[in-house]
A and B are shown apart, each in its own frame.
Chain A
């Protein structure tokens, strides 16, 4: 779960499921002989799924209609009060706004830089594995490690960032303390950290492309640029759609790195919606209200996913 990150290294489905097997055979034909119908294989998963996914989802819906609190024993049903409060809560709107800003300024470079890296690595220059390692390595770092390293780079007095600006004769910057800069600093860290996954997706797609088209274009005298724009990039369309969709969903869920780096500061300007859920629920003890906000966020995620699907379908 990170944005982006690897923590929820969710590996989503790429292509639509392959065609179902032609013959719907199965265990049934042999059931007469006392064969399993397969249910027993699925049972352990279903049990865990019910307890640790279905129940919390359902319980969360219920909680969002109560005043459930870590500080109170008794819980009362409050109807839509939490939802009504959320829509009038300026902190909900500002943290949603921060989340959208982060999503915008992180997704664009996370797609474009990944594409550039994959094209360069695939271009046939020597040392593929070394480039690959350099670009993917940060993705393997736990979020705390990433934030420790960047806290040091962003250190106001002796950190690399301001030392570099000083050497160039520029004024130091409050990387994480200046309200107009902090979100950009976090986005830069996030791009460095997670671009490797998108890069691998692009690289795998490039390696799967048939080379015949490219060779034919080269025989016809098309130069490298021309082949890039007219042959390679069009063939990467589907990958780009996939990467962009996954990235938007991942960026919307940003929490870890921001919470550790700035705790949402300065002045709440970097606080994403999921951190507000955490603040309300675990610092403010209002679990019911926190649930309501997280379901509003879930609704937003679904709306964005459906909108993306529609948009890209139309494009096709």
Chain B
């Protein structure tokens, strides 16, 4: 929508935008300010976010205790591996579904698409029993493996592959390239934006996933950031400066990632087929 030449709409829109943004930033600003003060200053009453001298004491204490760093490492490991496995497996499957001719292709595809409807929470109870059966409770494998099945991503990628022109692939096939070769040298290079989009969404999802890692890990040494912080949340008690410092440390990686890939992430929403509808 273009605002046009009138002054009034422009001023109204600008004001509304500033007010909304202020409301949205306020919790973050309040959290940052809290994390940078001493616990005593934080517990003084008053509306001002800054009630005393600035200090990095809370961050020092959090980092010294070390468990936040362990959880951050686990989060990177888990989210990284989930993303890698999901993207490789889903991309291959999507290509197979898009171009394959094997028997049962339609049925298997229909089952995959139907599985999009299944809420992950439905699987939690039986998956936990399955992990008990495999003796995997409290292992990285138990946290990671159930997260790598992403029928939605297969569907999105398959739709993209079907839209690619076949002539290029066929030219390579005629030249004697194997299917694997066609996939690696022709199809993948053409699919970088969609693969990037899928990777970003899988990574954000895995990084922020709470319920499953929470249920399947009891060992604090294996917990991801969201789970670890939840277990110590109550032990912060009235230590709000430390509580905010740990929250901000935990949110840093994705915020940095967003700043680096802002354009790509915004485009992802459109390219995954969500935007243009």
Is the beta-carbon distance between A131 and B126 smaller than 8 angstroms?
no
Instruction: Number of A interface residues at 8 Å Cβ cutoff, please give it.
Output: 131
Tier of interface size on chain B: 35 or more
A104→B9 CA distance, assembly (Å):
32
Q: Which residue of A lies closest to B207 (CB)?
A: A142
Check A141/B258 contact, CB under 8 A, given A7-B209, A302-B117. Answer: no
| The one of A5, A120, A130, A192 that contacts B27, using a Cβ cutoff of 8 Å | A192
A298→B46 CA distance, assembly (Å):
47
Asked if A277 is at the interface of the complex by the 8 Å CB criterion, the answer is: yes
Asked if B201 is at the interface of the complex by the 8 Å CB criterion, the answer is: yes
Is the beta-carbon distance between A134 and B225 smaller than 8 angstroms?
no
Check A13/B273 contact, CB under 8 A, given A20-B162, A120-B20. Answer: yes
Q: Which residue of B lies closest to A121 (CB)?
A: B17
Is the beta-carbon distance between B46 and A256 smaller than 8 angstroms?
no
| The one of A8, A123, A163, A287 that contacts B47, using a Cβ cutoff of 8 Å | A163
Asked if A214 is at the interface of the complex by the 8 Å CB criterion, the answer is: yes
B91 shortest CB reach to chain A, Å = 9
Asked if A248 is at the interface of the complex by the 8 Å CB criterion, the answer is: no
A115→B8 CA distance, assembly (Å):
21
Within 8 A of B (CB), among A115-148: 116-117, 119-125, 129-138, 140-145, 147-148
The dominant DSSP class at the A interface is helix
Is the beta-carbon distance between A260 and B153 smaller than 8 angstroms?
no
Q: 1/0 per residue B74-107: CB within 8 Å of A?
A: 0000000000000011101101110111100100
Is the beta-carbon distance between A142 and B250 smaller than 8 angstroms?
yes
Is the beta-carbon distance between B270 and A142 smaller than 8 angstroms?
no
Asked if A2 is at the interface of the complex by the 8 Å CB criterion, the answer is: yes
Is the beta-carbon distance between A53 and B123 smaller than 8 angstroms?
yes
| The one of A20, A208, A227 that contacts B270, using a Cβ cutoff of 8 Å | A208
Q: Which residue of B lies closest to A117 (CB)?
A: B20
Q: Which B residues contact A (CB, under 8 angstroms)?
A: 1-4, 6, 9-10, 13-14, 16-17, 20-21, 24-28, 30-31, 34, 42-47, 88-90, 92-93, 95-97, 99-102, 105, 108, 111-112, 115-130, 145-146, 148-149, 151-156, 159, 162-163, 166, 170, 173, 178-180, 183, 198, 201-202, 204-205, 207-212, 215, 225-227, 229-230, 233, 240, 243-244, 246-248, 250-251, 254-255, 257-259, 262, 266, 269-270, 272-277
Q: What are 8 A-B residue pairs whose CB atoms fall within 8 Å in the complex?
A: A1-B212, A13-B152, A68-B129, A148-B244, A152-B30, A204-B274, A215-B2, A297-B122
